[in-house]
Structure 1
Amino acid sequence: MINIKFDVKTFLKTAMIGIVGVLLFKLLHAPVPYLLGPMLAVLLANRVFHLQMYWPKPIQNTGLIVIGYSLGISFNKEILKAMFQDIPLMFLLTTILCVFSCIFAFFISKYGKIDFPTALTSSVPGGLTQIIIFAQDMKGIDLSTVTFFHAIRVIMVVLLVPIVVHLPFLQTTTQSAAANIQSNLEILNWNHFFIYMILCTIAALIGKKIKLPAAYMLAPIILTILLNVTIFPASSMPPGLLNICQFVVGIHIGLLLHPESLKHKGRLFSFAIFSSLILVSASFIMSLLIMKNLEGTSIITGFLSLAPGGMDQMGIIGHEVHADIATITIYQLFRILYIYILIPPALTLVNKKF
């Protein structure tokens, strides 16, 4: 009984520290406050001030299930149809970005003195949450290094991309063929939402049983896409729920980190900054030379479609600059699928070799 009471007190203390992190990030207008805020606050409290922390695993898994659902509902018949039409170009451009990442991972591994599987995972142009959950499930990956690289990239991308898209010579209104696609998820249906939560939970447990990579996120994504585009339309997310889930996962990630294990911190910071600049530059060049000519988008739309900053952040910026949100969504979603389908087997092969 004493242990349960202790856990509850420590759990509430951990949650309060996470909330303080969110508030500070909101006050400073820092990027991704509901994920990075609690992650850094808990990290400092745990590793610097040596406060005892506690965060139940089921809470984190629940947050991942909801995040998986939120990604799955972004796919509807119209978006999938447009995506299938553009698969060759999307596959080419995403592969080019990943090749850049692999090449840079080689240099990070050689000159940054870290193992190649960790360097590769740190360089993949995916979302912070998704890649870290993958890294957590992969044996031999230094989670602290991966989180360090992706956190720096999120901050760099969120700072750089708005500057680039507001350059005067980019202010055009060219639209692609996907511009008329509308989301059908503007209405919240509580019955559908609760049914999906039950089904996604079952799918996550089955995925974990069959050793699916990042099962608590990937299994709900797969199930939601299949049901939403076939027989059972999904509901929109309840207001604020996704922020809560990012908060839950952010605290969990903060407790997993061991920054004291990072060697050559200054060198790694330089590599993290440089890799972010390389990916952002490659995205801009491809939007200028390829997307504008082959896809018929504006340079801004093409850039936001390829930028390695995550669908939510790029979508928000796209709204602000009146870009083609549908095209941005399609390309960012395709990269999510690309990473989920191809990266885990590739990382497994790399782990076996190295």
Structure 2
Amino acid sequence: MIATFDRSRTTRGFADARGDQHTGEEQRVRSTQKSWQALSVTVVAATAAGLLGKATGVPGFTFSSAIVAALVLKLCFDFAYLPKGVKKACQIVAGSYLGTLLTVSGLRSMGRLVVPIVIVVVGYTVNCFATGRLESRLLGYGRKEGMLIASPAGASDMALIIEDLGVDNTDVIIMQVVRAIVVMAVFPQIVNAICLFTGT
């Protein structure tokens, strides 16, 4: 949807000039650390952190802890690396996992979920376009960058599709990572507190 909207605006003469500018001199410099040692350390550190997060029993800490471990390696030591081939592998594994969650009975019950699905899709879409435009105007992001930052997809999803959309701006990943950590670490605790308070 984002790619279609961007192409439509571009063909109508509204080029994404801010996006072009933002991916130029202001683009953050990516690490050039690409070695099997960095790959090994990244996998081991993220796995260990994820297992520690799972051991805490706190909902969402497995995912959040792995992200934090990789971030520490990347930002503090510039020693985090995963090859691009891993992106396709993650897409295949994620798609396969989601596919295994669907059942015949679940598909049969889709009828009663039509209204909630419409509400969620419309709400997310409006927020994506409105917030993306606001970020583009106030913060100078390009059209696609603003919408991707406001997209309801997670950090891992954005990392998988950002290059497919022709966006070369690490700010999108940074914003999504921060959002993912906050959502995965804080929101489950809020839900648990509400359920405990209401007795549900």
Q: Deviations over 1:276-326 (max 9, x none)?
A: 2321222212233x223321223333223212244135523542xxx5623
> Which residue of 258, 272, 277 corresponds with 2:122?
277
**Mapped contact 2:87–2:160 kept (Cα < 8 A):** no
Residue type of the partner of 1:300? K
What corresponds to 2:54 in structure 1?
Answer: 208
Matched, 1:193 2:39: yes
1:260 positional shift: 0.9
1:253 positional shift: 4.2
The verdict on how the C-alpha distance between 1:193 and 1:264 changes in structure 2, with shifts beyond 3 A counting, is: closer
The verdict on how the C-alpha distance between 1:271 and 1:252 changes in structure 2, with shifts beyond 3 A counting, is: same
Q: Which runs of 4+ in 1 moved over 6 A?
A: none
The verdict on how the C-alpha distance between 1:273 and 1:235 changes in structure 2, with shifts beyond 3 A counting, is: same
**Mapped contact 1:187–1:236 kept (Cα < 8 A):** yes
Q: Deviations over 1:213-249 (max 9, x none)?
A: 344433221222223222x323321342343344345
Matches within 5 A, 1:1-354: 160-168=1-9, 170-174=14-18, 175-176=21-22, 179-184=26-31, 186-230=32-76, 232-261=77-106, 264-288=109-133, 290-309=134-153, 310-312=157-159, 315-316=162-163, 318-319=165-166, 325-352=169-196, 353=198, 354=200
Whole-angstrom distance in 2 between the partners of 1:340 and 1:278: 21
Whole-angstrom distance in 1 between the partners of 2:47 and 2:148: 32
1:194 positional shift: 1.1
Secondary structure of the equivalent of 2:17? coil
**Mapped contact 1:200–1:223 kept (Cα < 8 A):** yes
Residue type of the partner of 1:275? V
1:264 positional shift: 4.6
Residue type of the partner of 2:129? F
1:173 positional shift: 0.8
Whole-angstrom distance in 1 between the partners of 2:185 and 2:95: 24
What corresponds to 1:150 in structure 2?
Answer: none
Q: Percent identity?
A: 19
The verdict on how the C-alpha distance between 1:332 and 1:260 changes in structure 2, with shifts beyond 3 A counting, is: same
Whole-angstrom distance in 1 between the partners of 2:65 and 2:174: 20
Residue type of the partner of 1:294? L
**Mapped contact 2:50–2:61 kept (Cα < 8 A):** yes
Residue type of the partner of 1:212? V
State the TM-score, normalizing by the size of structure 2. Answer: 0.75
1:251 positional shift: 3.7
1:181 positional shift: 0.9
Whole-angstrom distance in 1 between the partners of 2:160 and 2:115: 24
Q: Deviations over 1:29-64 (max 9, x none)?
A: xxxxxxxxxxxxxxxxxxxxxxxxxxxxxxxxxxxx
Q: Structure 2: where are the runs of 5+ without partners?
A: none
Q: Structure 1: where are the runs of 5+ without partners?
A: 1-159
Q: Deviations over 1:98-124 (max 9, x none)?
A: xxxxxxxxxxxxxxxxxxxxxxxxxxx
Whole-angstrom distance in 2 between the partners of 1:179 and 1:213: 37
**Mapped contact 1:189–1:235 kept (Cα < 8 A):** no
Whole-angstrom distance in 1 between the partners of 2:40 and 2:92: 21
Whole-angstrom distance in 1 between the partners of 2:72 and 2:58: 17
The verdict on how the C-alpha distance between 1:338 and 1:176 changes in structure 2, with shifts beyond 3 A counting, is: farther
Secondary structure of the equivalent of 1:307? coil
Residue type of the partner of 2:120? S
